[in-house]
Amino acid sequence: MGCAFAKASSAVQDRDSQESSRKRLASLSRRTSDSRVNSSRRHEGVLRYHGGEVKAMRFDKKANASMRVYDDQIEKRRREKSEASVMEHSCVGMVPKATLGEQVAAGWPAWLSNAAGEAIKGWLPRSATAFEKLEKIGQGTYSNVYKARDVTHNKIVALKKVRFDNLDCESVKFMAREIIILRRLDHRNIIKLEGLITSQMSRSLYLVFEYMEHDLTGLASHPGIKFSEPQVKCYMQQLLSGLDHCHSRGILHRDIKGSNLLIDNNGILKIADFGLATSYDPHHSVPLTSRVVTLWYRPPELLLGASHYGVAVDLWSTGCILGELYSGKPILPGKTEVEQLHKIFKLCGSPSEDYWRKLKLPHSTYFRPPQSYRRCVAETMKDFPAAAVGLLETLLSVDPAHRGTAALALKSEFFTTKPLACDPSTLPKYPPCKEIDAKVRDEARRERKVGQERRGQNESRAIPASNSNMQSVMSMQRRQNQTSSKSQSEVFNPRREGAVSGLLVAPPKQPRVVKEIRADYSERLRKRFSQSGPLADGPEWTKSGKKLDDPQAVSTAIDLSKLSGLVATRTLLSEGHQEKIGPSQSQKTEQMGRFSGSVNELQSKRKQDQNCYTQMVGDFPQIEDGKASAKESSLHGHGHKGNKIYVSGPLLNSSNNVDQMLKDHDRKIQEFSRRARLDKTRAEKVHAHGKQVTAN
Ligand SMILES: Nc1ncnc2c1ncn2[C@@H]1O[C@H](COP(=O)(O)OP(=O)(O)OP(=O)(O)O)[C@@H](O)[C@H]1O
């Protein structure tokens, strides 16, 4: 009743507000001419950028405080006065309660206003004509990033282009969340969103960012660059300061990695890419998806399926970056979720009984290592400075509760003992070397290798010819040729002179089980999330609504797990307002529809698993005395980017009992399939009996 009343009254309010917005818009043109006459009676508001040109925004005090009048005349005067003040004032929240009508009148496309009104509230779109595109500088999963000149303000910016081919509402909402989060943040170590470019006819949206010359991956992977200790501390300090700001504003980044840490020519580091970020309330925990954070930087609790987590996930990733900056390569480069966990446990020790009891993680039954590992962080990183090891010990705590906070990390000995962090302005100025360069370079090197093998010819011919960054790529190539034989450094040793950093190689994109049918935004998002290994980390719920740790559910779950990336993405897409982890009816229905749990499918899956287990166990590095085997070294190259399909499976402790485990696994699958069949027959009988009773 109350609800019905609320709905009715909100409908009336909507109608009222639409009506009033219509009236306001109708009077807009009248007032624009009136304003010239009565300008003395009106209070001039702040300047804002609009449609690629600076326009004045005025508030008609007399009529309505929220009334906006765009006046070209005033715009010209203002533009002459100061462009700086334009930028200063062109921030969010200046126009309260902008309605859809107002937003459309202000130049926003209706589809965007409809789906993401909150994200654009108080902002005016900028016109593409006010920018001069210079070159492509980056490529994300769902975006292309360009360097461009903002003609109006005569400055270089980065434009992140997001395209919505079918204007899928969920996708737009997802992107809106990134914008809303970016607008909530204001810190010198967080990338600043300066505006949005679109037009009423446009199906795409550009996010305008301040331009950053480098990213940590690009710099660290440059063969000629070696970070000093004060420099590492300087970057870490900035990263932690930015994170502290995010966390204090209730934002979790959930994708901290080198390529998302941008660095400008003044040595300022800024956290970028808030595409996976979410808001959270530490005092009122809601379930969040565990399928976030790039694999190598993903904390154990997320690999184990945690849905209640907090700042500790970002702190784990920060620990991985710190270790990487000292060792010169990723410290935990897993290829699948299973292998990732295995690597974590081998380095950080397997969790205590208390951990399993306390965290009650969904996948613990499957991922609990049969053998326990001793923690050996200090031992493995014995060549790092003691204060760095101290901080690493905290940040890489298996128990998230022991990782502390960004604020605490900033007060740690690492930052108070000499050598202290240097001032960013004293850092060297580097030539451009962005992540895209690194990607092109890796690609070129791979092609070169293949070319050499096939033709025994000069490698330079294998370099793609049409890249805008070709010059820097070529110069890097030349340098790398000189050091190529040394480029595979040992893990966990501090970076050696001339060694190539481990930040060089992007974390593995895992097999795409879900076919890419459409190339639209949501599909690309799906790819982004299906990066995680498909098999072991399947959906937490099966078609019967049973949890994965219910043995009876496993037969279905094994198969359902093929979809894990998709399900996670759906979950994430529905996060637009709030994340949901539980078995939503639609998910369950979809799973039921797609998976009949046929034994044939299970068996072929099992065969695939067997191959993969063998592959995986063969690939597991034996880290002894802080060194990895030659096999692991190869993981740091491009082996993982080959065409092999890796699927995850239960954690294995060593290769000699693999056969036995596979047999057990085989037997279990058969057993579960048999039980599932029996259950089904029983259910059918009960159902038939029920029908008979009803008929009687
Ligand atoms: N403000 C900027 N200045 C310079 N380069 C940038 C800027 N923002 C992004 N880039 C470059 O573009 C790349 C992709 O951007 P971003 O990470 O935001 O996109 P994404 O689609 O979210 O990527 P991903 O799939 O890797 O998460 C970055 O790695 C970076 O090299």
**Per-residue pLDDT reduced to its tens digit, 54-65:** 232 232 333 333
Kindly state the average pLDDT of the residues 178-186.
Answer: 96
Q: What is the whole-number distance in angstroms between the Cα of residue 442 and the centre of ligand 1?
A: 18
What is the per-residue pLDDT for 160? Answer: 94
Q: What is the pLDDT of residues 347-382, one digit of tens each?
A: 999 998 888 888 888 777 777 887 889 999 999 999
Residue 207 φ/ψ, nearest 5 degrees: -95, 125
Longest dimension (CA), the chain: 90
Please determine, for residue 145, whether its predicted confidence score (pLDDT) is greater than 80: yes
What is the per-residue pLDDT for 666? Answer: 56
Atom in ligand 1 nearest the alpha carbon of residue 528: 25
Atom in ligand 1 nearest the alpha carbon of residue 259: 29
Atom 5 of ligand 1: nearest residue by CA position = 212
Q: What is the band of 673 on the pLDDT scale with cuts at 50, 70, 90?
A: low
Kindly state the average pLDDT of the residues 605-613.
Answer: 37
Please determine, for residue 175, whether its predicted confidence score (pLDDT) is greater than 60: yes
Q: What is the band of 678 on the pLDDT scale with cuts at 50, 70, 90?
A: confident
Task: Among 142, 144, 160, 185, say which to mutate for ligand 1: greatest number of ligand atoms within 8 Å of CB.
Answer: 160
Pick from 398-402, 587-591, 657-661: least confident: 587-591
**CA distance linking residue 473 with residue 172, whole number of Å:** 35
CA angle 656–660–663, rounded 5-degree value = 145
Instruction: Label residue 394 exposed, middle or buried (CB < 10 Å: 0-12, 13-18, 19+).
Output: middle
**CA distance linking residue 660 with residue 666, whole number of Å:** 10
The dihedral sign for the CA sequence 176, 181, 187, 190: negative
Instruction: Label residue 624 exposed, middle or buried (CB < 10 Å: 0-12, 13-18, 19+).
Output: exposed
Highest-pLDDT range among 476-480, 579-583, 663-667: 663-667
Give 139's strand partners: 144
Q: What is the pLDDT of residues 501-524, one digit of tens each?
A: 333 334 443 332 222 222 333 444
Task: Among 262, 437, 569, say which to mutate for ligand 1: greatest number of ligand atoms within 8 Å of CB.
Answer: 262
Give 493's strand partners: none
Pick from 213-217, 269-273, 321-325, 563-567: least confident: 563-567
Atom 14 of ligand 1: nearest residue by CA position = 140
In Å, how far are 112, 124, 125, 193 from 104, measured between CA atoms?
Answer: 9, 10, 10, 21
CA 354 to chain centre: 31
What is the per-residue pLDDT for 315? Answer: 98
Q: What is the band of 581 on the pLDDT scale with cuts at 50, 70, 90?
A: very low
Of all residues in the chain, what percent carry a pLDDT higher than 90?
A: 36
Of all residues in the chain, what percent carry a pLDDT higher than 70?
A: 49
Q: Return the residue matching tokens 């990723």.
A: 330
Atom 28 of ligand 1: nearest residue by CA position = 138
Atom in ligand 1 nearest the alpha carbon of residue 211: 3
Q: Which residues line ligand 1 (CB under 6 A)?
A: 137-138, 140-143, 145, 158, 160, 191, 209-212, 215, 259-260, 262, 272-273, 275, 434-435, 528
Q: What is the whole-number distance in angstroms between the Cα of residue 25 and the centre of ligand 1?
A: 38
Cβ–Cβ contacts within 10 Å for residue 315, how many? 27
Please determine, for residue 83, whether its predicted confidence score (pLDDT) is greater than 70: no
**CA distance linking residue 227 with residue 494, whole number of Å:** 11
Q: What is the whole-number distance in angstroms between the Cα of residue 499 and the centre of ligand 1?
A: 26
What is the per-residue pLDDT for 616? Answer: 30
**CA distance linking residue 253 with residue 314, whole number of Å:** 7
Q: Are 337 and 303 in contact (CB under 8 A)?
A: yes
Q: What is the pLDDT of residues 232-265, one digit of tens each?
A: 999 999 999 999 999 999 999 999 999 999 999 9
Kindly state the average pLDDT of the residues 460-486.
Answer: 29
**CA distance linking residue 473 with residue 477, whole number of Å:** 6
255 as an active site residue: the answer is yes
Q: Are 281 and 438 in contact (CB under 8 A)?
A: no
Q: How many residues are present in the chain? A: 696
> Which residues does 299 contact at the CB level (< 8 Å), separation at least 6?
293, 312, 313, 316, 317, 400
What is the per-residue pLDDT for 359? Answer: 81
Q: Are 466 and 136 in contact (CB under 8 A)?
A: no
The DSSP code for 51 is T
**CA distance linking residue 75 with residue 154, whole number of Å:** 18
What is the per-residue pLDDT for 477? Answer: 33
**CA distance linking residue 230 with residue 409, whole number of Å:** 16
Classify the complex by whether its ipTM is higher than 0.85, answering yes or no.
Answer: yes
Atom 30 of ligand 1: nearest residue by CA position = 138
The DSSP code for 172 is H
Q: What is the pLDDT of residues 522-563, one digit of tens each?
A: 444 444 433 332 222 222 222 233 332 333 332 222 222 222
Please determine, for residue 659, whether its predicted confidence score (pLDDT) is greater than 90: no
Kindly state the average pLDDT of the residues 178-185.
Answer: 96
The dihedral sign for the CA sequence 228, 233, 234, 238: positive
**CA distance linking residue 673 with residue 543, whole number of Å:** 14
Mean pLDDT of the chain: 64
Angle between helical axes of 658-695 and 599-619 (0-180°, round to 10): 160
Kindly state the average pLDDT of the residues 387-391.
Answer: 98
Highest-pLDDT range among 532-541, 561-570, 683-692: 683-692
Q: What is the whole-number distance in angstroms between the Cα of residue 591 and the centre of ligand 1?
A: 34
What is the per-residue pLDDT for 424? Answer: 97
Of the CA atoms within 13 Å of residue 151, those in its CB half-sphere come to: 12
What is the per-residue pLDDT for 219? Answer: 93
**CA distance linking residue 588 with residue 570, whole number of Å:** 12
Please determine, for residue 663, whether its predicted confidence score (pLDDT) is greater than 90: no
**CA distance linking residue 238 with residue 248, whole number of Å:** 15
Q: What is the band of 73 on the pLDDT scale with cuts at 50, 70, 90?
A: very low
Q: Which pair of tokens denotes residue 222?
A: 């440059």
Atom 18 of ligand 1: nearest residue by CA position = 273
Helix or strand or coil: residue 227? coil
> Which residues does 598 contact at the CB level (< 8 Å), separation at least 6?
none
Q: Which one of 150, 168, 215, 255 is the catalytic residue?
A: 255
What is the per-residue pLDDT for 197? Answer: 95
The DSSP code for 553 is G
Q: What is the whole-number distance in angstroms between the Cα of residue 273 and the centre of ligand 1?
A: 6
Q: What is the band of 86 on the pLDDT scale with cuts at 50, 70, 90?
A: very low
What is the per-residue pLDDT for 453? Answer: 57
- Single pTM value for the model: 0.59
Q: Which pair of tokens denotes residue 49?
A: 């950028």
What is the per-residue pLDDT for 691? Answer: 60
Atom 12 of ligand 1: nearest residue by CA position = 138
Q: What is the whole-number distance in angstroms between the Cα of residue 693 and the centre of ligand 1?
A: 64
Please determine, for residue 624, whether its predicted confidence score (pLDDT) is greater than 50: no
Kindly state the average pLDDT of the residues 597-604.
Answer: 36
**CA distance linking residue 265 with residue 243, whole number of Å:** 21
Q: Are 212 and 262 in contact (CB under 8 A)?
A: yes
**CA distance linking residue 256 with residue 244, whole number of Å:** 13
**CA distance linking residue 116 with residue 621, whole number of Å:** 47
**CA distance linking residue 518 with residue 508, whole number of Å:** 22
Greater model confidence, 121 or 538: 121
Q: Which pair of tokens denotes residue 600?
A: 């044939």
What is the per-residue pLDDT for 364? Answer: 76
Greater model confidence, 344 or 668: 344
Q: Which pair of tokens denotes residue 422?
A: 């240097």
In Å, how far are 182, 278, 421, 574 from 253, measured between CA atoms?
Answer: 11, 7, 24, 18
Short-list 50, 204, 179, CA closest to 119: 179
Q: What is the pLDDT of residues 629-653, one digit of tens each?
A: 322 333 233 233 333 323 233 333 3
Strands 43-50 and 131-139: unpaired
Q: What is the band of 446 on the pLDDT scale with cuts at 50, 70, 90?
A: low
Q: Return the residue matching tokens 């906070």.
A: 405
Greater model confidence, 259 or 693: 259
Q: What is the whole-number distance in angstroms between the Cα of residue 380 and the centre of ligand 1?
A: 33
Atom 4 of ligand 1: nearest residue by CA position = 212
What is the per-residue pLDDT for 191? Answer: 98
What is the per-residue pLDDT for 350? Answer: 92
Does residue 160 have a known ligand-binding role?
yes
